């Protein structure tokens, strides 16, 4: 699929409806991310990209892309030969992401959309990523969204979800509530169950030194033995 330049969809300003929490303050999003990560946001994103490991020639969707930083990093990581799409429920985020991609001279498609109704064909992507998003969603929306991510992944495709760990707590949880996050961190067992219910297999937690965060990788390929 050929992606247009970042400014090509500037006319699309309609906000999709969702029952999940939506962050509208795009102007301060990057600064807030830096604060919540205690200045480690850049290093964490590099780790996310390394674990996701997007490869040249693949097609990637970043679900809940925010201001587009991760999508741009993945594009650069793969040497530019990566088909990248970013979606976010907040049109304000999408606008900022398009401007960032244009400034970075990266051809990436950003569009307003919600995880529970992804506007893509079945089996379209090799890789899907979601960072700091799932805790915003009510349980029914989360379940529907994970099924949608599974649907748009190709056989053998992979999904990397990064979110706040239930064991993290402490000051990070306080900061999240202060900045309006509907924080409901997961244990690995909870998220694993939801991913398997959505049709994912080979669900595993990727070990990192980030105690406040949980990195979970899953495969979209259905193993016949697992049903």
Delimit the domains of the chain by residue range: 29-222
Residue 15 confidence class, pLDDT cut points 50, 70, 90:
low
Most confident of 7-21, 86-100, 155-169: 86-100
Average pLDDT over residues 18-39: 47
| Interatomic CA distance for residues 60 and 206, integer angstroms | 20
- As to burial, measured by CB atoms within 10 angstroms (0-12 exposed, 13-18 middle, 19+ buried), residue 184 is middle
Who wins on pLDDT, 193 or 166? 193
Q: What is the pLDDT of residues 50-75, one digit of tens each?
A: 999 999 999 999 999 999 999 999 99
| Model pLDDT, residue 34 | 42
| Model pLDDT, residue 129 | 98
**Average predicted confidence (pLDDT) for the chain:** 81
Radius of gyration, alpha carbons of the chain: 16
| Interatomic CA distance for residues 84 and 1, integer angstroms | 10
| Interatomic CA distance for residues 182 and 179, integer angstroms | 9
Q: What is the CATH number of domain 29-222?
A: 3.40.50.150
Of 108, 127, 105, whose CA–CA distance to 48 is shortest?
127
CA distances from 81 to 53, 63, 72, 74 (A): 13, 20, 12, 10
Average pLDDT over residues 215-224: 79
| Model pLDDT, residue 170 | 45
Triad 159, 164, 170: Cα angle to 5°? 170
């Amino acid at each position: 699929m050929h992606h247009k330049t970042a400014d090509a969809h500037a006319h699309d300003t309609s906000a999709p409806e969702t029952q999940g929490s939506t962050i509208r303050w795009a102007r301060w999003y990057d600064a807030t991310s830096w604060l919540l990560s205690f200045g480690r946001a850049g290093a964490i994103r590099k780790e996310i990209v390394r674990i996701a490991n997007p490869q040249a020639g693949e097609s990637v969707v970043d679900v809940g892309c925010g201001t587009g930083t991760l999508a741009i990093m993945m594009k650069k990581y793969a040497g530019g030969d990566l088909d990248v799409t970013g979606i976010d429920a907040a049109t304000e985020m999408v606008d900022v992401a398009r401007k960032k991609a244009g400034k970075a001279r990266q051809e990436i498609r950003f569009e307003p959309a919600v995880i529970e109704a992804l506007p893509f064909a079945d089996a379209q992507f090799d890789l899907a990523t979601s960072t700091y998003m799932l805790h915003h969603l009510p349980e029914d929306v989360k379940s529907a969204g994970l099924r949608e991510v599974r649907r748009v992944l190709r056989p053998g495709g992979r999904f990397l979800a990064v979110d706040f760990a239930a064991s993290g707590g402490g000051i990070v949880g306080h900061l999240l509530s202060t900045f309006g996050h509907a924080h409901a961190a997961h244990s690995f067992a909870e998220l694993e169950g939801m991913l398997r219910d959505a049709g994912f297999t080979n669900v595993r937690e990727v070990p990192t030194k980030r105690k406040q965060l949980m990195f979970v990788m899953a495969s979209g390929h259905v193993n016949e033995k697992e049903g």
